[in-house]
């Protein structure tokens, strides 16, 4: 009995320990869940040189449901933000860790304070520590790299602007626009016949009866034209107003059609009106075909009777339904749209014709190439007539005036060492559209007493041109003198050259200019297409202003 009681007592104590342990674990979890966010920041270095970058990292540890907002934009002034990397997220033990890294830099030397940054977590603001960043200068070896004064700016005259092509084009466009407006879009005054044609059928019929009353037919005993016009007025009115085939019907046929419309309820006319109308039509038939001559009073009475018939018919027509009115409106809109389309088609055809005639006339006067360049432009023309740039390139300097600035080209240092060259500056500009290429190279030999070998250099250039696809090269050479009196070697000629990034070849010319003295050599290579006159003028201008300095 005592043995059983000890077992039950031991089991109760064990359950109590398990309960207490679970309670502790739960308390720790709740405490950790209720723990606030933790913000840490760091940089990979506090010392950089001008233009180098530092990595500023912010770490935020918070609950997985927290909303965290990092700073954006240029909030790191005086440091500049180069890039903000994507946020890295890690979840561990029910907590979330966010890592945000910024790349920062500065282009002026000095000591800068990286300001505190505000991190927003669930609407509450938390701030990082401020840090001191030192930015040092880049060391320059002035003994190996010579320094020179900044060159003074030079005034360059703008190329004269040729206004006549623009004035001619504006005049032609104004003439075309005026013609199109006058003939197709101008509101033309309507003639009397057009104004009458626009009147409603009833008003037009009454107007024509008034004109018939004022006509000299009855005075001249011209009963046939009088009755012909009288019946024509009423027949035209009936055909338009009640849409009955009246002009092509005989008297009996017309009366029968009107009776059918009256019986169908489409025309509310009294029987006496139709009988009177039939008598007038029969009298008109006798006058027109049997040469009958009624009295003048009878003719006047018949005209007044027709007037009454028109009025009664107009009054007897039922009012159109809303559906019929909509159909009429849709028809009128469709008709107007068709008229507009017709006018636009005529205007388009006329405009195309004028443009074709103008183009043919301009080609006959100025030539196809000039007209083409005026309309579509020309890369060669743009180069020649653009704003030119005068600058010096390399050391010893080569002075050039070119349509565009020449860009420096990188030269592998091992090639310089192998060729016995201490320093070499290479500059180049190429416009494949215009077919113009400009190359300038200035080099200083490692042996300051070495004389340049012009012939060998020319051979190397020609070999390189052939390796790049040049064929049928014709070579000439002569002495060349710059505008300042510096003498050198000029090698020039023609050939077929391959366009960049293409297998297509074109006819072209080239010029190689070489200058030099003890310890240095300067080289200028010009090549251009010869299928237009603008390239020739461009090369001439470059050669006229080219100069070199021979002092090392």
204 and 308 belong to one structural domain: yes
* Domain presence at residue 351: no
304 and 410 belong to one structural domain: no
End position of a domain, from candidates 316, 331, 360: 316
End position of a domain, from candidates 297, 316, 335: 316
pLDDT at site 372: 61
- What is the CATH number for 489? 3.40.1000
pLDDT at site 366: 57
* Domain presence at residue 123: yes
Domain that holds residue 43: 38-136
Q: Of 469, 483, 472, 395, whose CA–CA distance to 437 is shortest?
A: 469
Total domains in the fold of the chain: 3
- Tokens of residue 66, six digits: 């927290």
Q: How far is it, in rounded angstroms, from Cα 55 to Cα 58?
A: 10
* Domain presence at residue 111: yes
DSSP for 20-61 reads: HHHHHHHHHHHHHHTPPPEEEEEES-SEEETT-EEEEEEEEE
Sheet holding 389-393, edge to edge: 389-393, 398-402, 547-548
* Domain presence at residue 181: no
- Tokens of residue 202, six digits: 């009833």
The DSSP code for 74 is S
User: If the chain, 552 residues long, is cut into consecutive pieces of 10 residues, what is the mean pLDDT of each piece?
Assistant: 50 62 53 68 90 90 87 80 88 86 88 85 84 80 58 60 65 74 64 72 86 87 88 86 82 85 78 84 85 86 87 75 67 74 76 70 62 63 80 83 85 72 84 83 81 83 83 85 85 80 76 86 87 82 84 52
pTM score, two decimals?
0.40
* Domain presence at residue 12: no
Q: Of 231, 175, 237, 228, whose CA–CA distance to 202 is shortest?
A: 237
pLDDT at site 111: 86
pLDDT at site 184: 62
């Amino acid at each position: 009995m005592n043995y059983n009681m000890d077992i039950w007592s031991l089991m109760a104590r064990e359950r109590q320990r398990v309960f207490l342990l679970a309670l502790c674990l739960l308390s720790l979890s709740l405490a950790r869940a209720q723990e606030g966010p933790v913000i840490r920041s760091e940089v990979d270095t506090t010392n950089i040189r001008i233009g180098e970058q530092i990595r500023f990292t912010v770490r935020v540890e918070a609950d997985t449901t927290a909303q965290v907002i990092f700073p954006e934009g240029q909030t790191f002034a005086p440091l500049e933000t180069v890039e903000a990397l994507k946020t890295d997220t890690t979840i561990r033990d029910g907590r979330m860790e966010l890592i945000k890294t910024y790349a920062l830099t500065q282009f002026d030397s000095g000591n800068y304070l990286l300001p505190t940054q505000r991190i927003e977590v669930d609407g509450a603001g938390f701030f990082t520590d401020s840090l001191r960043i030192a930015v040092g200068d880049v060391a320059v070896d002035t003994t190996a790299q010579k320094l020179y004064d900044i060159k003074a700016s030079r005034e360059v005259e703008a190329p004269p602007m040729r206004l006549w092509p623009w004035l001619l084009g504006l005049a032609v466009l104004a003439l075309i626009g005026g013609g199109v407006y006058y003939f197709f879009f101008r509101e033309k005054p309507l003639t009397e016949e057009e104004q009458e044609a626009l009147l409603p059928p009833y008003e037009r019929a009454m107007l024509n009866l008034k004109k018939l009353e004022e006509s000299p037919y009855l005075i001249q005993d011209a009963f046939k034209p009088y009755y012909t016009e009288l019946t024509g007025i009423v027949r035209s009115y009936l055909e338009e107003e009640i849409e009955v085939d009246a002009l092509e019907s005989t008297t009996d046929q017309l009366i029968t059609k009107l009776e059918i419309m009256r019986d169908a309820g489409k025309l509310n006319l009294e029987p006496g009106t139709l009988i009177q109308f039939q008598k007038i039509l029969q009298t008109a038939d006798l006058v027109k075909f049997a040469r009958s001559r009624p009295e003048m009073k009878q003719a006047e009475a018949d005209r007044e009777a027709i007037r009454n018939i028109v009025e009664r018919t107009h009054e007897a027509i039922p009012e159109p339904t809303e559906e019929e009115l909509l159909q009429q409106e849709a028809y009128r809109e469709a008709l107007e749209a068709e008229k507009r389309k017709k006018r636009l088609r005529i205007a388009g055809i006329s405009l195309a014709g004028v443009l074709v005639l103008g183009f043919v006339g301009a080609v006959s006067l100025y030539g196809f190439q000039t007209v083409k360049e005026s309309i579509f432009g020309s890369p060669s023309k743009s180069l020649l007539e653009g704003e030119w740039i005068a600058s010096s390139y390399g050391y010893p300097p080569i002075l050039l005036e070119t349509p565009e600035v020449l860009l420096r080209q990188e030269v592998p240092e091992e090639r310089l060492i192998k060729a016995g060259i201490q320093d070499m500056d290479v500059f180049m500009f190429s416009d494949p559209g215009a077919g113009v290429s400009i190359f300038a190279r200035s080099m200083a030999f490692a042996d300051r007493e070495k004389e340049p070998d012009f012939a060998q250099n020319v051979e190397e250039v020609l070999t390189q041109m052939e390796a790049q696809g040049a064929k049928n090269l014709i070579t000439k050479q002569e002495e060349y003198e710059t505008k300042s009196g510096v003498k050198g070697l000029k090698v020039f000629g023609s050939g077929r050259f391959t366009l960049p990034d293409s297998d297509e070849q074109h006819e072209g010319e080239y010029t190689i200019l070489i200058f030099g003295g003890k310890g240095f050599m300067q080289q200028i290579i010009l090549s251009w297409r010869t299928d237009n006159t603008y390239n020739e003028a461009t090369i001439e201008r470059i050669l006229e202003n080219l100069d070199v300095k021979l002092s090392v």
